[in-house]
Amino acid sequence: MKKIVWLFMLIFLAGCNITVLQPKSETASEQAFLINFSFWLMMIVVVTVFTLFIRFVYKYRFTEKRKDDLPEDVKGNRKLEITWIVLPILLLIVLAVPTIAITYEQSAKAPQDRKKNGVHIDVIGKQFSWTFQHENGKKEMNRLVIPEGEPIIFHLTSEDVIHSFWVPKLGGKVDVMPGKEITYEIKKPEKGSYQGKCAEYCGLAHANMTFKTKVVAKEDYQEYLIQESQ
């Protein structure tokens, strides 16, 4: 009992801060929606199963009165059987439709036309840093500046091993492959500063492969582009 109390205290006092559940872009909001939606849908199943389980254990428990009872031998129940086949199928369809639609729409794609509407940024990962190159050729290391509200199209490549591009509050994770360009889009980021990181173990200093992401107003982004790199 004491252990359970400690466990609950640990969970409640840990101050869990799950950044993917604090989305700051349309892309991340869709991802958070999928997590919440499937969680609550599964909770319906969990609660139903546990309620029935507890109810049956209690209802058919051993008592002095029923000591010699032999339950009736039941063979089949069409209504019940149809119910427990059809209900899960319906639940799975409800779960599958938004999951497939969103994951298909968001998944990283083969290189795309650079004329596609949006801000295009080349992202080059290497052990153990990130380089961001903007459309006018401006380059910066470990600091990504992007304009708010625009579709941001990242062209991801790696110079050595496989990395993974991830800004938890904005979107990701997307594998960054050597010798192969992949495009990934983050829609409508909101103003703010966010932590970005490599999400694929890539060597000894993998944990240091982080970068700062700054989402700024559109005018500020234009100004940033013409500033000399510091």
Q: Residues interacting with Cu ion, by CB under 5 A?
A: 163, 198, 202, 206, 209
Q: Which is nearer to Cu ion, 23 or 125 (CB)?
A: 125
Structure-block tokens of residue 56: 């049956």
State the nearest-atom distance from the C-beta of 146 to Cu ion, in Å.
Answer: 21
Q: How far is the CB of 200 from Cu ion (least distance, A)?
A: 6
Q: How far is the CB of 170 from Cu ion (least distance, A)?
A: 18
199 or 216: CB nearest Cu ion: 199
DSSP for 180-219, written as a single string: --EEEEE-SPPSEEEEEEE-S--STTGGG-EEEEEEE-HH
Shortest distance, position 129 Cβ to Cu ion, whole Å: 9
How many Cβ atoms are within 10 Å of 25's Cβ, its own excluded? 24
Distance CA 89, CA 86 (A): 5
Residues 150, 136: Cα–Cα separation, whole Å: 17
Q: Output the smallest distance, CB 209 to Cu ion, in A.
A: 4
Q: Where are the alpha helices (DSSP H) in 15-168?
A: 26-59, 78-106
**Max CA separation in the chain (angstroms):** 90
174 or 209: CB nearest Cu ion = 209
Q: For residue 95, which of 44, 25, 144 has the smallest C-alpha distance? A: 44
CB-wise, 28 or 198, nearer to Cu ion?
198
Q: Which is nearer to Cu ion, 122 or 150 (CB)?
A: 122
